[in-house]
Amino acid sequence: MSGVGLVWSNLFRKKVRTVLTVLSVLVAFVLFTMLRSVAVAFDSGGFGPAGVDRLQVSPKFSIIDPLLISQLREVERVPGVDAVTHADWFGGVYQDGRNFFPKFPVSPKSYFDMFSELSIAPDQLEAFQNTRTGAVAPAGMAERFGWTVGDKIPIEGDIYAMRDGSRRWEFDLVGTYLHGDRRDETGSGVFLFHYDYFDEAKQFGQGQVGWMTVRVQDPQQAAEVASAIDALFENSLNPTRTATEDEAQREFARQQGDIGLMTTGILAAVFFTILLLTGNTMAQSLRERVPELAVLKTFGFTDG
């Protein structure tokens, strides 16, 4: 019998142990692939070519700090800036907490002009602009909840109450939009409604926004434009931190924890454990063969 045949035969001397050892190694590599995919997904911004010319202007110290709508006018005058829009985090609950989806008050025309990868029918965009309580939702989200154009969508505010103290906000669904030409079958995406209505109706924080998105004229000059914007508000009550969309998204993910470091730590622990298990299996196999090795040496076989 050849050496390879002998090794192969010995592998299946304890079939269950061999199968379990191989499976443990396979699981480790599957886990490696999955966790690295998660880390790469968090580390890559995900906006693709459509977002290479966009910057996000956020509060410098905390995402819960506000920016002022008046700052938008100043940003528009910064050399190299082509267009500016804004949004805010509304929070809110639809029916119950399990139905989570982001909800942003926005300026309809400037928002859809900025995010050209979002497609909406022209008549629905016009209705969104002209309807004070208007809102639009991703087509997949509307399908998920059974919404149709013309429905009233009630949202219970958990951050913002209305001027009369009520926390029940109602929006008129005037349209749906797609990300490019794709329908998100998961029903995720952002529910968008009219900033002017939100600003007039909310109990506090008039004239404030959460962040601004800037389109630059030349993506190669994005860093210079970002520095100019931050310098503009450096000594104001509302200083800013401007970054590319990809970088801003990665920073937001890192607030939940360093995903790359966590996945690396998990993988290191998994592979170290697999190494110990494999080493122990090999040692145990050798210990089981000691009597047989002794017999072979009795017949004159050497260690070599």
Kindly report, residue by residue over 99-129, the tens digit of the pLDDT. Answer: 889 999 999 999 999 998 899 999 999 999 9
The residue ranking higher by pLDDT, 120 or 14, is 120
Highest mean pLDDT: which range of 182-191, 237-246, 258-267, 274-283: 237-246
Q: What percent of the chain has pLDDT over 70?
A: 83
3-state SS string over the chain? Answer: CCHHHHHHHHHCCCHHHHHHHHHHHHHHHHHHHHHHHHHHHHHCCCCHHHHCCEEEEEECCCCCCCEEHHHHHHHHCCCCEEEEEEECCCCCECCCCCCCCCEEEECHHHHHHHCCCEEECHHHHHHHHHCCCEEEEEHHHHHHHCCCCCCEEEEECCCCCECCCCCEEEEEEEEEEEECCECCCCCCCCEEEEHHHHHHHECCCCCEECEEEEEECCHHHHHHHHHHHHHHCCCCCCCEEEEEHHHHHHHHHHHCCCHHHHHHHHHHHHHHHHHHHHHHHHHHHHHHCHHHHHHHHHCCCCCC
Q: What percent of the chain has pLDDT over 90?
A: 53
Judge whether residue 7 has pLDDT over 90. Answer: no
pTM for the whole thing? 0.71
Which pLDDT tens digit goes with each residue over 172-218? 999 999 987 655 555 568 999 999 999 999 999 999 999 999 999 99
Judge whether residue 17 has pLDDT over 60. Answer: yes
- Identify the pLDDT of residue 47: 47
The residue ranking higher by pLDDT, 261 or 228, is 228
- Identify the pLDDT of residue 302: 73
